């Protein structure tokens, strides 16, 4: 059994949090309740008072009340609660964390949970988890940066009726089960690789034996949304010994935003920067930069896409073969990103294609675009970055072998070992 931190506003959600506390303790867990309310009287005395939370943010409670601005006050309480939660984790006084709330409570809950490392069980029970308010607002502004379990409550938290208890019981079961099922620490050093599925990234099937044969474990990140964020987060948390960043469709999403004002699957600002910050060896390749994506109803497709042939991926996702303008801009953006790297970095440029469908006869086959990309990239990349053009397709076994050999040559140099 473990210790679970419960937090929220005990003036407005006190009854519900008291119920969660009692239910978790019945299951044998310890609890630590943190009150993030500001104005109203708390329903019961917490383990961590609202005064202590305000002080952790650099204020006293009266100063926050004097703001006369509910949003600003809650932002400061979120800041203080985040610092306290991170400190509890470092002191090994937390095995999981649970919060409940509506719009403001969800904002508070996600802010605090994002301050904790990946792997810590995090459950947010929310009345707006999958509402348009949340999906179009909080997600797009980066609130979901960590491995948070969002649970949609079917009813509002308005008195302790049977429907509310049922929702709270589900949250108790979720966080309790996560804490009880503690994951084992990896026994091998980890190598991270980015992909976009086995069709787009045929190299995926060749990598496991090549990596595992060297005594490492391969961890795969799907770059069709959150995967790129988690990839960078794993690097920043020191979990990876080296990386093969071979799927950059999220970088292409940033390119289409630059060109057209709208980017699909767009990467965070910090994408392609964590390995440089941590100084870990990385091999980068422009996988999946051979196409651009429109997501939304076909009838609302903007002019840059309307007259181009799309490959229908689903009823609302339409990939298009990238044109030469898009490919050259993508190369420039990638060179600019990698120009900030100071750690061991190598770039592999597969001259025969960047995607599983970028072969002769494939929908994205684009030898002219690939050539334009490679030539533009070489022109703009700083000379300190090692660039290797290979006469392979990115899905070829030979490409996977070259990528692994290049990565481990850097790892061996960093460790002061002779290449194996």
Let me know whether 198 and 157 are in one domain: no
| Pairwise pLDDT comparison (398 vs 317), residue with the higher score | 398
Percent of the chain clearing pLDDT 70 (strictly above) = 92
Let me know whether 201 and 174 are in one domain: no
Average pLDDT of the residues in 377-400: 96
Return the CATH number at 88. Answer: 3.40.50.12020
Q: What is the pLDDT at residue 313?
A: 63
Helix (H) or strand (E) holding 122: strand 122-126
Let me know whether 148 and 239 are in one domain: no
Let me know whether 174 and 243 are in one domain: no
- Phi then psi for 133, rounded to 5 degrees? -55, -45
- Which structural domain, as residue segments, surrounds residue 195? 189-415
Note whether residue 420 is domain-resident.
Answer: no
Measured distance CA(40)–CA(388) in Å, rounded: 63
Contact 96, 122 (CB under 8 A): yes
Sign for the pseudo-dihedral over CA of 402, 403, 408, 410? positive
149-152 and 216-222 strand pairing? unpaired
Let me know whether 10 and 143 are in one domain: yes
Let me know whether 160 and 280 are in one domain: no
Residue 138 scores a pLDDT above 50: no
Note whether residue 380 is domain-resident.
Answer: yes
Per-residue pLDDT band for 144 (boundaries 50, 70, 90) equals low
Let me know whether 295 and 165 are in one domain: no
Let me know whether 231 and 361 are in one domain: yes
Residue 345 scores a pLDDT above 60: yes
Let me know whether 348 and 407 are in one domain: yes
Measured distance CA(45)–CA(27) in Å, rounded: 21
Q: What is the pLDDT at residue 342?
A: 82
Residue 415 scores a pLDDT above 80: no
**All residues at 6 or more sequence positions from 58 whose CB lies less than 8 Å from its CB, including other chains:** 76, 80
Average pLDDT of the residues in 162-187: 91
Per-residue pLDDT band for 246 (boundaries 50, 70, 90) equals very high
Note whether residue 229 is domain-resident.
Answer: yes
Q: What is the pLDDT at residue 103?
A: 86
Per-residue pLDDT band for 235 (boundaries 50, 70, 90) equals very high
Return the CATH number at 241. Answer: 3.40.50.12030
Highest mean pLDDT range out of 38-42, 139-143, 303-307, 396-400? Answer: 396-400
Let me know whether 158 and 260 are in one domain: no
Let me know whether 270 and 330 are in one domain: yes
Instruction: List C-alpha distances in Å: 317 to 20, 86, 131, 296, 298.
Output: 41, 39, 21, 6, 9
Let me know whether 121 and 198 are in one domain: no
Note whether residue 196 is domain-resident.
Answer: yes
List pLDDT tens digits, range 80-129: 999 999 999 999 999 999 999 998 899 999 999 999 998 999 999 999 88
Measured distance CA(253)–CA(229) in Å, rounded: 14
Residue 420 scores a pLDDT above 80: no
Note whether residue 111 is domain-resident.
Answer: yes
Indicate the residue among 145, 180, 215 that finishes a domain.
Answer: 180
| Pairwise pLDDT comparison (167 vs 266), residue with the higher score | 167
Note whether residue 399 is domain-resident.
Answer: yes
Residue 237 scores a pLDDT above 80: yes
Contact 97, 85 (CB under 8 A): yes
Indicate the residue among 135, 161, 180 that finishes a domain.
Answer: 180
Query: How many independent structural domains does the chain possess?
Result: 2
Contact 97, 112 (CB under 8 A): yes
Percent of the chain clearing pLDDT 90 (strictly above) = 65
User: Would residue 341 be called left, alpha or beta, if left means φ above 0 and alpha means ψ between -120 and 50 degrees?
Assistant: beta
Q: What is the pLDDT at residue 168?
A: 97
Average pLDDT of the residues in 212-237: 89
Q: What is the pTM of this model?
A: 0.81
Residue 201 scores a pLDDT above 50: yes
Q: What is the pLDDT at residue 318?
A: 80
Per-residue pLDDT band for 68 (boundaries 50, 70, 90) equals confident
Q: What is the pLDDT at residue 262?
A: 65
Note whether residue 22 is domain-resident.
Answer: yes
């Amino acid at each position: 059994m473990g210790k679970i931190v419960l937090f929220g506003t005990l003036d407005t959600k006190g009854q519900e949090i008291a119920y969660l506390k009692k239910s978790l303790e019945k299951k044998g867990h310890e609890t630590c309740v943190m009150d993030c309310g500001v104005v109203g009287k708390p329903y019961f005395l917490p383990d961590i008072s609202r005064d202590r939370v305000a002080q952790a943010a650099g204020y006293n409670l009266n100063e926050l009340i004097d703001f006369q601005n509910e949003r600003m006050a809650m932002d400061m309480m979120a800041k203080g609660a985040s610092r306290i939660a991170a400190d509890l984790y470092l002191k090994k006084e937390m095995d999981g964390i649970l919060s409940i709330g509506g719009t403001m409570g969800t904002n508070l809950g996600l802010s605090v949970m994002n301050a904790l490392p990946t792997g810590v069980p995090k459950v947010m029970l929310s009345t707006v988890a999958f509402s348009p308010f949340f999906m179009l607002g909080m997600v797009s502004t980066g609130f979901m940066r960590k491995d948070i379990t969002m649970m949609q409550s079917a009813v509002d938290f308005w008195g302790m009726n049977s429907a509310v208890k049922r929702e709270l019981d589900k949250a108790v079961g979720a966080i309790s089960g996560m804490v009880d099922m503690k994951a084992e620490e990896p026994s091998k050093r980890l190598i991270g690789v980015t992909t976009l599925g086995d069709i787009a990234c045929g190299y995926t099937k060749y990598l496991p034996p090549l990596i595992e044969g060297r005594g490492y474990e391969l961890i795969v990140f799907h770059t069709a949304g959150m995967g790129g964020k988690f990839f960078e987060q794993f690097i920043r948390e020191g979990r990876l010994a080296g990386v093969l960043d071979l799927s950059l469709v999220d970088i292409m999403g940033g390119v289409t935003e630059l060109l057209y004002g709208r980017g699909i699957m767009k990467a965070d600002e910090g994408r392609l920067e964590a390995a440089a910050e941590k100084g870990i060896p990385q091999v980068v390749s422009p996988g999946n930069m051979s196409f651009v994506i429109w997501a939304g109803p076909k009838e609302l497709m903007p002019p840059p896409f309307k007259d181009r042939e799309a490959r229908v991926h689903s009823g609302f996702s339409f990939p298009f073969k990238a044109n030469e303008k898009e490919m050259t801009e993508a190369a420039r953006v990638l060179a600019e990103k990698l120009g900030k790297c100071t750690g061991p970095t190598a770039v592999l440029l597969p001259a025969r294609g960047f995607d599983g469908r970028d072969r002769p006869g494939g929908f994205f086959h684009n030898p002219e675009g690939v050539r334009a990309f490679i030539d533009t990239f070489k022109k703009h990349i700083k000379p300190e970055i090692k660039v290797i053009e290979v006469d392979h397709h990115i899905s070829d076994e030979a490409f996977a072998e070259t990528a692994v050999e290049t990565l481990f040559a850097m790892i061996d140099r960093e460790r002061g070992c002779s290449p194996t």
